[in-house]
Amino acid sequence: MDIEFRLGQGPFNTKYAPLAALGAHFEANSTLKSLDKVQLEGQKRGSSAAEKLKQILMGILAGCEYISEVDNRLSSEIGLVRAWGLEGYLERSSLALVLNQLSRMNLEQMEQSVGQIWQAHSRALQHDWRGFLMLELDLSGLPCGKGAEGAEKGYFSGKKSHRTPIGPRQRHPIW
């Protein structure tokens, strides 16, 4: 499948272009092929469990926190659905039904499928363990600016935290 990305109006226009590119990459490399191993009991005609799981993943990556948001955000995104190699868009009720039907065996099948995907694409598994693997964690709880990505008021180590902008001339007393 040839996919062209450009600005402007075209046959398929989506505000989720990066997600469409990711889906096209997954399809070209058969990244999610191992999800085909998940077989639901009593599966009727129509979309397979793997296709429904792909749509649930697509919804998560599109920022849907709940299955109920999938209809509003993705129902008009035909180009996005096709980039992921799917025939059409499923309603939230169909997707919720799949999640409700998952048995312990299905969860084990999904765990094996996701493990295969992770093993094939994990950078940690490809790391040369004779050297160091650097992980950066910030547990300092220092104040951050309002414009910082993901900045929120919250609770941290027994203290009330609040957003405190630190300008170029202001320095934190610890620094």
pLDDT tens digits for range 6-47: 655 555 567 788 898 888 888 888 888 888 888 877 666 667
Residues of the chain with pLDDT under 70: 1-13, 42-46, 137-144, 146, 150-175
Report the pLDDT value the prediction gives residue 40, as an integer from 0 to 100.
79
Distance CA 89, CA 54 (A): 11
* Domain spans, the chain: 17-121
Give the per-residue pLDDT at 154: 60
Closest CA to 38 of 100, 94, 85, 103: 103
Q: Which pLDDT score, from 0 to 100, does residue 77 have?
A: 84
Query: Cα 163 to chain center, whole Å?
Result: 28
Q: What is the gyration radius of the CA atoms in the chain, in angstroms?
A: 21
Q: Which of 32, 45, 27, 35 is nearest to 102 (CA)?
A: 35
Q: Are 47 and 94 in contact (CB under 8 A)?
A: yes
pLDDT for 12 equals 59
Share of the chain above pLDDT 70, in %: 67
Average pLDDT, the chain: 77
Q: How far apart are CA 70 and CA 60, in angstroms?
A: 9
Identify the pLDDT of residue 102. Answer: 87
The pLDDT value recorded for residue 170 is 46
Alpha-carbon dihedral angle through residues 31, 32, 38, 42, given to the nearest 10 degrees: -140
How far apart, in whole angstroms, are the C-alpha atoms of residue 60 and residue 104? 22
What pLDDT does residue 118 have?
Answer: 87
What's the pTM value of the predicted model, to 2 decimals? 0.64
